[in-house]
A and B are shown apart, each in its own frame.
Chain A
């Protein structure tokens, strides 16, 4: 049960900024009104961040990973089940690496 100082510091920083976003909406609305444009911007952030995370990873990964990604997207689209989609991808990647030698 260890907590490294730099990790503690990072987590406290994360906690602080996250809590400010939670109370910030109510606080801002007691003073300003959000424009439609700002609202659109906030809506688009999570997807854009995830795409930015995923794209460089995909480009540098092997064939097995690409197939896994395809299966995950397919299952997620069909069922909407996040966990099932991810597990399906993991199993396919494991299978391809173990039995076909793809990386």
Chain B
């Protein structure tokens, strides 16, 4: 196509350039994700140690990390893990925490809808905050290889699973967690995550509403429903107050 043709057809957007799916993309995804995988590894260690504290066996922790493979939701549900297991609150909380994937998937859709069925749905299993961010920057630079997400996501998956096992193993060494301040680890990692999420005024009102609703619900309702109720109340407040 000559430049003349391009100029005559402004409707042909870059987004409509063909998307490939091959080994070179896979390899590029792996190569560019090694740094991020190191960070995921340290986060996975935290999950492993906390899983031990929450009472998950090694096999259960590994199963969760390989099938669910979503760090924030996995750590969050450990906060409500108890006997008897609150199955429904755990599954609903997982859903709510992971709803953000919808947004990331939506942003990838104009390219991934061009990739044939099983390749698309296999790659999307490996969609995480990190693999999504790397894939987006790659695609925005014009390098459109769908296998990049697969390579990136798989690298992160390997780090996450390995770290889960190692952290769960290390958890065995620590007998009385409270004595070592380790009961604070849950709260600590949540607070650190929140600090990173705080973007100023847009968060203030939603977070105050979430805190208030969660507190009231924790006093008046049984179980762990306060997490879901506070989360919904706060995020809906955000949706209706954040107009720009």
Contact = CB atoms under 8 A, between A and B. Distances in A.
Contacts of A93: 181, 184
Interface string B69-84: 1101100110100001
A70 to B, nearest CB: 9
Contacts of B100: 21, 42-43, 45-46
B184 A89 contact: yes
Contacts of A77: 195
A19 to B, nearest CB: 6
A-side interface mostly = helix
Contact of A49 (B64, B107, B187, B230): B230
Contacts of A47: 194, 197-198, 203, 206-207, 210, 234-235
Interface string A33-60: 0100111111111111111111111110
A7 B57 CA distance: 10
Contacts of A55: 210-211, 214-215, 230
On chain A, which size bracket covers the interface? 35 or more
Contacts of B112: 26
A76 B195 CA distance: 6
Contact of B63 (A11, A25, A27, A68): A11
A38 to B, nearest CB: 7
B105 interface: yes
Contacts of B232: 48
Contacts of A39: 103
A38 B206 CA distance: 15
Contacts of A101: none
Contact of A18 (B73, B203, B234): B73
10 contacts: A17-B94, A24-B101, A26-B109, A26-B112, A46-B100, A48-B209, A55-B214, A55-B215, A82-B43, A85-B195
